[in-house]
Structure 1
């Protein structure tokens, strides 16, 4: 299984997202940033695996169910950069 970075703060989650900034449109980046912020309000910080799932939804138009199925099959969500 791949090692994905965990996050313990909003700042760490946003730093992870920055790595994928060029993979999504500016609008999608801001949307994902908002989702991360909304989770952080509840003290739930998105880790790299969570963020990759959001990026895959944006880039490939996958549904949450498709991403969950991939996770169950592989034990992680695979993402190859453009």
Structure 2
């Protein structure tokens, strides 16, 4: 697996996780406060995002896609998250 494919796969899984956690939050289970994977930092390291740019530029894009994914139907696999992961 190439570094690029690894990054896309990690983002894809993080988006899927976020989608599920937000769904649990909507049920009143407060999952987002207890189940953070912190993959943003790992992906940023793999992408060699300069220190400080994670919070301001690239991190905003990442979080925006996480929010958009909550509107996508939940499926058994994370395949539907792949286009979001690639754009991110």
TM-score (norm 1): 0.38
Higher Rg of the two aligned structures = 2
